[in-house]
Amino acid sequence: MTEEEVRSAVVKIIEDVAPDEDLSEIDDNKALRDQIELDSMDFLDIVMELRKRYSVEVPEAEYPELNSLASCVTYLTPKLKDK
């Protein structure tokens, strides 16, 4: 997957986990939790969806790597390059 495809995949997962949130004006460089209402369970749902849809394991110690959309793309692109 390209970086843009990874970004789109993450946005789709967030839309599925938090369907009432407007993601059209999301700032890729700001913390997701500062822009949309994601509680800890929503965040875990995002991690679980990454595993279910793309077989990507995100260890708990690496959760901070998923802080913003840009950091998600940076972290996930190498893991999804062959997907």
The pLDDT tens digits of the residues spanning 21-72 come to 999 999 999 999 999 998 999 999 999 999 999 999 999 999 999 999 999 9
Confidence of residue 82 (pLDDT cuts 50, 70, 90): confident
Domain total in the chain: 1
**In sequence order, which residues have a C-beta less than 8 Å from that of residue 80 and are 6 or more positions away?**
1, 5, 6, 9, 54, 56
The structure's pTM equals: 0.92
Other C-beta atoms lying within 10 Å of the C-beta of residue 2: 11
How far is it, in rounded angstroms, from Cα 10 to Cα 7?
A: 5
What is the span of the domain harbouring residue 52?
3-80
Tell me: pLDDT of 83 over 90.
no
Instruction: Indicate which CATH number applies to the domain containing 7.
Output: 1.10.1200.10
